[in-house]
Amino acid sequence: MRAQFVLSETWIGLRRNLTMTIAVITTVAISLTLFGAGLLVNQQVSEMRSYWDERITLTVYMCNEISPTQTCQESGPATDEDRQALEDTLDGLAEVQSYDYLTAAEAWQDFQERLGSSNEALAEAAQEGDIPDNYRVQLTDPSHYDTVRAAVEGAPGVDTVSDDQQVLEQFFGLLDGLRAAALVLAGVQLAAAALLIGNTIRLSAYSRRRETGIMRLVGASNFYIQLPFLLEGAVAGLIGGIIASGFIVATRFTLLTQIEDWFQFDVALGTGSLLYVIGVSVILGVLLCTITSFLTLRRYLKI
Amino acid sequence: MIHFDNVTKVYPTQKRPALDGVSIDVDKGEFVFLVGPSGSGKSTFLRLVLKEEKPDKGRVHVAGKDLSRLSNWKVPHLRRRIGCVFQDFRLLPNKNVFENVAFALEVIGKPRRFIRKVVPEVVELVGLEGKAGRMPHELSGGEQQRVAIARAFVNRPQILLADEPTGNIDPATSIGIMKVLDRINRTGTTVVMATHDAAIVDSMRKRVIELEEGLVVRDQTRGVYGQAY
- Cβ of residue B95 closer than 8 Å to a chain A Cβ: no
Chain B residues with CB-CB distance to A214 below 8 A: 90, 92, 103-104, 107, 151
What is the residue type of B121?
Answer: E
Q: Give the integer Cα–Cα distance in Å for A11 and A15.
A: 6
Q: What is the pTM of this model?
A: 0.72
Nearest to B109 among A2, A213, A214 (CB): A2
Q: For each of chain A's 303 residues, which pLDDT tens digit applies?
A: 577 778 888 888 888 788 888 988 998 999 899 888 888 888 877 777 777 776 677 788 888 777 777 777 777 777 888 888 888 888 888 778 888 888 888 888 877 777 666 666 766 777 777 778 888 887 777 677 778 888 887 777 788 887 666 677 777 788 788 888 888 888 888 888 888 888 888 888 888 888 889 999 998 888 888 888 899 889 999 999 999 999 988 888 887 777 777 665 555 677 888 899 899 999 999 999 999 999 988 887 765
Question: Residue A66 half-sphere exposure, CB side, CA atoms within 13 Å?
Answer: 8
Q: Do B76 and A220 touch (CB under 8 A)?
A: yes
Chain A residues with CB-CB distance to B151 below 8 A: 214, 218
What is the layout of strands, in order, in the sheet containing B82-86? Answer: B82-86, B159-163, B190-194, B31-35, B207-212, B215-220
A133 within 8 A of A170, measured Cβ to Cβ: no
B186 within 8 A of B29, measured Cβ to Cβ: no
Q: Is B187 helix (H, G, I), strand (E, B) or coil?
A: coil
Distance from CA of B193 to the nearest CA of A (A): 16
Distance from CA of A230 to the nearest CA of B (A): 16
Q: Do A218 and B108 touch (CB under 8 A)?
A: yes
Distance from CA of A210 to the nearest CA of B (A): 7
- Cβ of residue B51 closer than 8 Å to a chain A Cβ: no
Q: What is the ipTM of this complex?
A: 0.87
Chain B: residue whose CA lies nearest to A4 = B106
